[in-house]
């Protein structure tokens, strides 16, 4: 069996890869592993369980809740809320475990399970490995120890989660958004209620699209992975800016008043300067991944700020932030972590803070984002290849060396296997877009032939 846990929990096609049996078994395994680690010692354990609106989340939620309760864990079922809301509630409610059912920006047929440890942080890799090992051991025959009588977990709905989370967002907003007109694209996802409520309470005039989830339309041609609808709506309504979330709202991308995309790197740059001005950017340092645009690195250097780069995945950004006490980090995809106010990427919080900067400075989003110049970047996803051999193929290594020699100091190449999908990502940056496109396509062809 391949590793179940990727860079962002367990994901797959719901009811094919990710079955009710798997969800139940992993939940029981998680309870046993955390009990063994001493997490539950001296008290009756509690878990917070939430989901995005996918139809499959209904039966997977039932399976997770059943698994946890059968292992003696009390469950607070918070319903449809963003991933960062479940993480926040896990922390503020003092729960021992949080579980989010979502496949984030993936298409509707997929779903996923993400576990949070006490405090609302993602589980460490070693705990995920242990959960997987224990699950596999019991799946192949070893019986579980099961509580009976009053020892079984109790389940109750926790409707207060919505208000608790929105109130938290309001409490950390640096200033109000009065006078701003903002279009929100909720991707028919988990923030369809939360985000419009938060922006409205903050004083913005809100136009909402993609906020009618029916269980089947999540991420369907809308949200942070499909910005065309938002771009058109911002221009049509004469809005100051637009904010797009993905299905579980841990991401935020933006659109300026002219309908131009403002990506995660630009958002990070704007927030970094705002936080330095406010004295909250500890160490004058921002954490980003190796996928960040070279223009972002140059902009941070130009502003006198330090940049720490990590492997791709918001969990690695977060690890670096926690280890070194940094306050801001994120990814080009729009995962932005403001560690003083959230334990994971929070798209609604990010959007609020970006809009707050526009309101506070009276400067357009386009001008704020202009602090960095994006170098042309071409990303090609090469599907149906053996991504495990990316770093062992001599043919591929030679092709990368040739490409780097051609680009020189004005560009760069990055090849990486996806942590959540069966593909290899080929990324090329260069001062000239046509050169970047040609080099990327050439490398993609080599990936296909060498790893196909």
Max alpha carbon distance in the chain (Å)? 70
104 is in an annotated binding site: yes
Q: How crowded is the C-beta side of 1, counted as CA atoms within 13 Å?
A: 12
52 is in an annotated binding site: no
> Strand order of the sheet with strand 253-256?
205-209, 181-185, 241-244, 253-256, 261-262
Query: In 3D, which of 357, 367, 368, 328 has the Cα closest to residue 176?
Result: 357
Q: Which of 27, 104, 333, 393 is the catalytic position?
A: 104
Q: How crowded is the C-beta side of 288, counted as CA atoms within 13 Å?
A: 27
Q: Which residue has the tokens 């334990």?
A: 343
Spell out where 241-339 has E strands. 241-244, 253-256, 261-262, 285-289, 306-310, 328-330, 336-338
Instruction: Note whether 373 and 219 are within 8 A (CB).
Output: no
**Could you give the angle at which helices 347-361 and 264-278 cross, rounded to 10 degrees?**
60
294: DSSP letter: H
Query: In 3D, which of 331, 330, 108, 336 has the Cα closest to residue 222?
Result: 108
Structure tokens at 18: 């990710």
246 is in an annotated binding site: yes
3-state SS, residue 330: strand
Structure tokens at 14: 């719901």
Question: CA-CA distances (angstroms) from residue 386 to 24, 312, 396, 449, 452?
Answer: 30, 19, 13, 11, 6
Find the angle CA(22)-CA(26)-CA(27) to the nearest 5 degrees: 115
What is the secondary structure of 3-69 as a DSSP string?
-SEEBTEEEEEBTTTB-HHHHHHHHHHHHHHHHHTTTTTTS--EEEEEE-S-THHHHHHHHHHHHHH
3-state SS, residue 292: coil
d(CA 165, CA 160): 9
Q: Which residue has the tokens 């941070």?
A: 300
- For the chain, helix, strand, coil in percent to 5 are 40, 20, 35
70 is in an annotated binding site: no
Please say if 104 is a catalytic residue: yes
Instruction: Note whether 241 and 365 are within 8 A (CB).
Output: yes
Q: Which helix (H) or strand (E) holds 377?
A: strand 377-383
Q: Which residues are annotated as a binding site?
A: 104, 246, 248, 250
Q: Which residues are annotated as a binding site for Mg(2+)?
A: 104, 246, 248, 250
Residues involved in catalysis: 104
């Amino acid at each position: 069996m391949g590793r179940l846990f990727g860079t962002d929990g367990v994901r797959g096609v719901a009811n094919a890869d990710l079955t009710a049996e798997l969800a139940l078994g992993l939940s029981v395994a998680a309870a046993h592993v955390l009990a063994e680690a001493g997490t539950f010692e001296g008290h009756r354990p509690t878990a917070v369980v939430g989901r995005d609106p996918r139809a499959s989340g209904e039966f997977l939620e039932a399976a997770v809740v059943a698994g946890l309760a059968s292992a003696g864990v009390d469950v607070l079922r918070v319903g449809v809320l963003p991933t960062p809301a479940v993480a926040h509630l896990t922390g503020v409610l003092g729960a021992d475990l949080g579980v989010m059912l979502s496949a984030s920006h993936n298409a509707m047929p997929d779903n996923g399970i993400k576990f949070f440890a006490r405090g609302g942080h993602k589980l460490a890799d070693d705990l995920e490995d242990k959960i997987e090992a224990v699950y596999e051991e019991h799946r192949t025959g070893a019986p579980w120890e099961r509580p009976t009588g009053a020892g079984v977990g109790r389940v109750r709905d926790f409707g207060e989660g919505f208000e608790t989370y929105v109130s938290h967002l309001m409490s950390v907003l640096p200033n109000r958004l009065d006078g701003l007109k903002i279009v929100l694209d909720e991707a028919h996802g988990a923030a369809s209620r939360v985000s419009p409520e938060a922006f409205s309470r903050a004083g913005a005039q809100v136009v909402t699209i993609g906020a009618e989830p029916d269980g089947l339309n999540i991420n369907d041609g809308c949200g942070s992975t499909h910005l065309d609808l938002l771009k058109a709506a911002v221009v049509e309504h004469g809005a100051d800016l637009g904010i797009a979330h993905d299905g579980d709202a841990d991401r935020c991308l933006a659109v300026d008043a002219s309908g131009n995309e403002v990506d995660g790197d630009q958002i990070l740059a704007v927030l970094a300067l705002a936080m330095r001005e406010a004295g909250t950017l500890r160490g004058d340092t921002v954490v980003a991944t190796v996928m960040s645009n070279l223009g972002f690195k140059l902009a941070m250097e130009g502003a006198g700020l330090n940049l720490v780069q990590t492997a791709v995945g918001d969990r690695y950004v977060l690890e670096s932030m926690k280890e070194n006490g940094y306050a801001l980090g994120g990814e080009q995809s729009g995962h932005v972590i403001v560690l003083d106010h959230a334990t994971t990427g929070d798209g609604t919080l990010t959007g609020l803070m970006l809009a707050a900067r526009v309101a506070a400075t009276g400067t357009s989003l386009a001008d704020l984002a202009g602090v960095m110049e994006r170098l042309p970047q071409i990303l090609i996803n090469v599907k149906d290849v053996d991504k495990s051999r990316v770093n062992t193929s001599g043919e591929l290594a030679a092709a990368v060396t040739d490409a780097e020699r051609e680009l020189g100091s004005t560009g760069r190449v990055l090849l990486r296997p996806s942590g959540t999908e069966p593909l290899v990502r080929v990324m090329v940056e260069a001062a000239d877009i046509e050169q970047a496109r040609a080099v990327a396509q050439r490398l993609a062809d080599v990936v296909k032939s060498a790893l196909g």
